[in-house]
Chains A and B, each alone.
Chain A
Amino acid sequence: MSALYRTLLRGLATRGRLLALGALAVLAVLLAVLVRVRAGVDRPDAAFSVVDGYGVSVLVPIVSLVFASAALGDAAEDGTLVYLWLRPVARWRLALAAAGAALTISLPLAVLPVVVAAAVAGVGARLVAGALVGALVAAVAYTAVFCGLGLRVRRALAWGLAYLVIWEQAVARVAKGAARVSISVSTRTITARIARHFPLPRNAMSMPVAVFVPCAAALIAVVLTTRSLQRGEVA
């Protein structure tokens, strides 16, 4: 497992990706600094907007998409997956190693900046805790989902972006039924409830449901990725 994990991790950590997404991460902290130093703004509301509106809703999904979709997707596309697949390794181990590798990068590049931004904004420990749990749960769920997407479809980045913009940011925010299966709505709910920020996001759910939805999405995604590795063809 560790050899698989290390190989996949090294393949993901390209300079281009780290620099581009590192810039997005720095932006989260800069926005928080701006909230702190600017007079005349409702600081708790503005700080929550940075954490929720940018961190949990944009930064975490984008970083997770870029790294998770490449974790197996790059290898499937360039043909190197054969060097991992044609080995006596359980397919679920391969799926978990890929998700673990992507998550290893998402944690410092997405979750940590959101937590730092919450701390820098200086509105209390509750927002920091909400940012930590919300961003962490979102990173785990999105990573699992996008790992599978990268393996199953070509141009996974484009499909993933379309999913984030159309489903998570548009449909799930207006349609209550869609919100019940939305990772974004559930993780924003978690962030807001822990931070005790009111009003809650539109279509917010109860805490147990908000925790259950992303966990179930992650579990189902890993199972489907494993199934794809078992039944799909390797170039």
Chain B
Amino acid sequence: MTATITVRDVGKWFGSVVALSGVSFEIGPGVTALLGPNGAGKSTLFRIMCGLANPSQGAVRILGQDPRANPSLTRHIGIAPQQEALFEWQTALEFVTLAAQLHGVGGPVQAAAAALATVEMDPRDPRPLSTYSKGMRQRVKVAQAIVHNPTVLVLDEPLEGLDPRQRLGAISFFRALGEQGRTVVVSSHVLDEVERFGSRVLVIAQGRLVAEGDFHRIRDLMDDRPRLLRVGTDQPARVAAGLLVSGVVQGARVVRGTVEVETSDAPAFRRAVASVAREAGARLTEVVPLDEDLESVFAYLLRGR
């Protein structure tokens, strides 16, 4: 892999608050997803990668150059930041045309109209941006990021606010850009979104890089952790006893008429739970994971570092 983005031992702190600590990785052409919960340091990392902020330690290189030292490098970078504010009085076409003009794109209005059409926005829409919904704003931000055909595209939570159909469209668009040889870095806090990018994944939690690899490796890491599940049944005591005897759970307790179990082998538990219930003469009403939220997943990965 030829690295277009190199992040070496980057740290960032604000007073005593550490936002990033010792983050190192290399990114090449294709789509790379930066996965992490809110507040993990993804946006800070993006700002440093684009030269918007100085790292407190370490170094970032984009196409071999320091993005802070060389404003002309921004010709090769497109960013869709997370913040929602835009130039509210402008139309979408004016906003994207401004980006094209400042990048020195020939035929800026035509380029802006094409970029807007790419993200399924009407370039002729006369309404000011202040009237736009969150999803529309996201698409306009992406349009201004791609209008100058950058080599490196940094998109901070670009799927937020999009409806399911728009999400699918955006994901295929980002994948197509990656297949064209561009470096596309997309942040997200939603695991399923990242799966659809079909990409390399960097997992960041509490300012540290806690895992990296393809999606399947990350998924395996997450699946291997101990899980807490709730089993709804009309015979909770019998089902709890049966599950303990079967050996697929490490603990089981009856809580308000349901069974809460802890297992380190979720697939084996899923295979066994129905037969255990049948043998106990019980009826199952639900099997619900209690710690599926990403915070607990990231906390587990962080403990494993």
Report the separation of the CA atoms of residues A89 and B75 in the bound assembly, to the nearest whole angstrom: 10
Judging by beta carbons under 8 Å apart, are A88 and B71 in contact? yes
The 8 lowest CB-CB distance pairs between A and B, nearest first, are A79-B83, A87-B102, A78-B85, A3-B101, A234-B52, A233-B53, A88-B72, A88-B75
Apart from A79-B81, A79-B85, A91-B71: 19 A-B pairs, beta carbons within 8 A: A3-B98, A3-B101, A4-B102, A11-B87, A80-B86, A82-B52, A83-B86, A83-B98, A83-B99, A84-B102, A85-B52, A87-B74, A88-B103, A88-B104, A90-B71, A233-B47, A233-B52, A233-B53, A233-B54
Asked if B79 is at the interface (CB within 8 A of a chain A CB), the reply is yes
Report the separation of the CA atoms of residues A161 and B249 in the bound assembly, to the nearest whole angstrom: 69
Judging by beta carbons under 8 Å apart, are A234 and B87 in contact? no
Report the separation of the CA atoms of residues A20 and B251 in the bound assembly, to the nearest whole angstrom: 70
Give, as a whole number of angstroms, the nearest-CB distance from A98 to chain B.
14
Report the separation of the CA atoms of residues A220 and B111 in the bound assembly, to the nearest whole angstrom: 38
Known A87-B74, A234-B52: A82·B79 in contact at CB below 8 Å: yes
Query: Of residues 84 to 114 in A, which have CB atoms within 8 Å of B's CB atoms?
Result: 84-91
What 0/1 pattern do residues 206 to 235 of A give for CB contact below 8 A with B?
000000000000000000000000000111
Report the separation of the CA atoms of residues A79 and B101 in the bound assembly, to the nearest whole angstrom: 20
Report the separation of the CA atoms of residues A220 and B104 in the bound assembly, to the nearest whole angstrom: 29
Asked if A38 is at the interface (CB within 8 A of a chain B CB), the reply is no
Known A82-B81, A87-B74, A89-B71: A10·B144 in contact at CB below 8 Å: no
Asked if B211 is at the interface (CB within 8 A of a chain A CB), the reply is no
Asked if A203 is at the interface (CB within 8 A of a chain B CB), the reply is no
Asked if A7 is at the interface (CB within 8 A of a chain B CB), the reply is yes
Asked if B50 is at the interface (CB within 8 A of a chain A CB), the reply is yes
Judging by beta carbons under 8 Å apart, are B103 and A87 in contact? yes
Number of chain A residues close to chain B: CB under 8 A: 21
Residue of B nearest to A14 (CB): B89
Tally of A-B Cβ pairs under 8 angstroms: 64
Judging by beta carbons under 8 Å apart, are B98 and A7 in contact? yes
Query: Of residues 26 to 61 in A, which have CB atoms within 8 Å of B's CB atoms?
Result: none
Listed in ascending order, the chain A residues whose CB lies under 8 Å from chain B are: 3-4, 7, 10-11, 78-80, 82-91, 233-235
Asked if B34 is at the interface (CB within 8 A of a chain A CB), the reply is no
Give, as a whole number of angstroms, the nearest-CB distance from A101 to chain B.
13
Give, as a whole number of angstroms, the nearest-CB distance from B159 to chain A.
19
B261 surroundings in chain A (CB, below 8 A)? none
30 contacts between A and B (CB under 8 A): A3-B98, A3-B102, A7-B87, A7-B90, A10-B89, A10-B90, A11-B89, A79-B81, A79-B83, A80-B86, A80-B87, A82-B81, A82-B83, A83-B87, A83-B98, A83-B144, A87-B74, A87-B99, A88-B71, A88-B72, A88-B74, A88-B75, A88-B104, A91-B71, A233-B47, A233-B52, A234-B47, A234-B52, A235-B52, A235-B83
Report the separation of the CA atoms of residues A83 and B81 in the bound assembly, to the nearest whole angstrom: 9
Asked if B7 is at the interface (CB within 8 A of a chain A CB), the reply is no
Report the separation of the CA atoms of residues A10 and B71 in the bound assembly, to the nearest whole angstrom: 25
B79 surroundings in chain A (CB, below 8 A)? 82, 86
Give, as a whole number of angstroms, the nearest-CB distance from B231 to chain A.
47
B47 surroundings in chain A (CB, below 8 A)? 233-234
Asked if B153 is at the interface (CB within 8 A of a chain A CB), the reply is no
What 0/1 pattern do residues 223 to 255 of B give for CB contact below 8 A with A?
000000000000000000000000000000000
Give, as a whole number of angstroms, the nearest-CB distance from B79 to chain A.
6
Asked if B77 is at the interface (CB within 8 A of a chain A CB), the reply is yes
Residue of B nearest to A87 (CB): B102
What 0/1 pattern do residues 123 to 135 of B give for CB contact below 8 A with A?
0000000000000
Report the separation of the CA atoms of residues A85 and B83 in the bound assembly, to the nearest whole angstrom: 15
The residue among B52, B90, B102 with the most chain A CB atoms within 10 A of its own CB is B102
Report the separation of the CA atoms of residues A78 and B83 in the bound assembly, to the nearest whole angstrom: 8
Give, as a whole number of angstroms, the nearest-CB distance from A232 to chain B.
9
A10 surroundings in chain B (CB, below 8 A)? 87, 89-90
Residue of A nearest to B70 (CB): A88
Give, as a whole number of angstroms, the nearest-CB distance from A173 to chain B.
40
Judging by beta carbons under 8 Å apart, are A86 and B50 in contact? yes
B73 surroundings in chain A (CB, below 8 A)? 88
Report the separation of the CA atoms of residues A113 and B54 in the bound assembly, to the nearest whole angstrom: 45
A83 surroundings in chain B (CB, below 8 A)? 86-87, 95, 98-99, 144
Residue of A nearest to B73 (CB): A88
A87 surroundings in chain B (CB, below 8 A)? 71, 74, 99, 102-103
Give, as a whole number of angstroms, the nearest-CB distance from A93 to chain B.
10
B89 surroundings in chain A (CB, below 8 A)? 10-11
B86 surroundings in chain A (CB, below 8 A)? 80, 83
